[in-house]
Structure 1
Amino acid sequence: MNSWRTAAPICVVLLTLLVGCGGSNDEADPGTTLTPSETSTTDPTGEPSVEPTDPESTQATRDKPSIQIASAPIGGNVQTDGADQCAEVNWLGRNPIPAGTTIQLGEASLDPTDLFDLYQDACDTDLRPCTEVMWQTTSFMPCYVGARQVARGDRAAKLMIAVTATCETEADCRSLAGDVPGSQISFAPGDLVSNG
């Protein structure tokens, strides 16, 4: 009888293990709460997937339309001091400049090139030179270009400034030149006086 008493507890333990390891039931008991590790992730729930929290990759940048104008529509007064002259440069094209448009001034040149040389010292030092200037609707201030007469002549030298305009739309770019065909600024030769 001793062996039966020893075998009974072993049978109870084995039965408990068999019931515990038996087939699984897909539904939990009503009184049981499933933890996240016990939920199934293979069945679709019909809900949208969780958005990733990593930063999104940058979108390809959209190139804005741009144009280059070889002789910008500019105008302004020219002050003369002997052989030195200083021109105030203002935009004469479409005004106001369309919102979202940037007009970047390029290098100044003269036509013809034999009467004057570009000479920024002809302008007061407190006047903004026309280098690295960008005009926009919200920041539009004139700039200044100086020249010095280096030869006698009877015709004026036209100040030319090329510009590159970057616009929101192609129509804005096409409208920039307006009715002005180019530069309206000229340096007129005078009696050549040496400035030392």
Structure 2
Amino acid sequence: MTLARSLMAFCLLLLLIGCGGSSSGDDPITIETTDSPAASQPSEPPVEPTDPETTQPTQQKPSIQIASAPIGGNVESTQTGYQCAEVNWLGRNPIPAGTTIQVGSPHLEPGGVFELDQTGCGDKTPPCGSDLVWQSNTFKPCFVGVRQIATGKAAQLIVSASAECATEADCASLQGQVPGSQISFSPGPPSG
């Protein structure tokens, strides 16, 4: 039995040495818990950068040039030798959403019988010109005045235009429905 007791004492001694650690000054193991009040509060979101965002490259919208816009309207004589035309868009109506039609400067074909003279329209506004834009939600007719300067044939009012569209199909729909201008000025006695 002495051998059994000696063996038991030896195993007990090994067990104590293994569990007790060494005496070389190692720190005991500590376990931190996250149950503290500071750990359970939500943290601040990260700060977003203040640098400007990069801009996306501009995308070219479809556009077309219309040499003679599809226009029509009433022409009335306002005084001897003067006439005024109310100019309306006769193309696809309404103008497609997202489409902008930039009206060009008006001119007359053939020339020599009439000249452009906005006084023929009195106080009717806006005059047709390159600063006028037509869109579906802001469309208003414009006015072109003329003065007769000679006898001759009727003169057709030509207004060029350019259109910027939301889609290629919208631009295509603006062409070919009504061929050019339906407005002409008929001569009467020339103004003095």
Q: Is the aligned partner of 1:142 residue 2:138? A: no
CA–CA distance in 2 between the matches of 1:57 and 1:95?
A: 39
Query: By how many angstroms is 1:54 displaced?
Result: 3.1
Corresponding residue for residue 179 of structure 2: 181
- Asked if structure 2 preserves the Cα contact closer than 8 Å seen for 1:88 and 1:142, the reply is yes
- Asked if structure 2 preserves the Cα contact closer than 8 Å seen for 1:94 and 1:178, the reply is no
The residue identity in structure 2 corresponding to 1:182 is G
Considering only aligned residues, what root-mean-square deviation do their CA atoms show, in Å?
2.5
Corresponding residue for residue 103 of structure 1: 101
Query: By how many angstroms is 1:193 displaced?
Result: 3.3
Corresponding residue for residue 125 of structure 1: 123
Q: Is the aligned partner of 1:68 residue 2:69? A: no
Q: Which runs of 5+ in 1 are unaligned?
A: 1-18, 23-27, 34-48
Structure with higher Rg: it is 2
Query: By how many angstroms is 1:29 displaced?
Result: 4.1
**Length-normalised TM-score, structure 1:** 0.72
Runs of 4+ in 1 over 4 A off after TM superposition: 49-53
CA–CA distance in 2 between the matches of 1:55 and 1:72?
A: 43
The percent identity for this pair of structures is 58
Give matches, 1:16-35, under 5 Å: 29-31=30-32
The residue identity in structure 1 corresponding to 2:76 is Q
CA–CA distance in 2 between the matches of 1:121 and 1:29?
A: 97
- Asked if structure 1 preserves the Cα contact closer than 8 Å seen for 2:157 and 2:183, the reply is yes
- Asked if structure 1 preserves the Cα contact closer than 8 Å seen for 2:149 and 2:191, the reply is no
CA–CA distance in 2 between the matches of 1:91 and 1:50?
A: 53
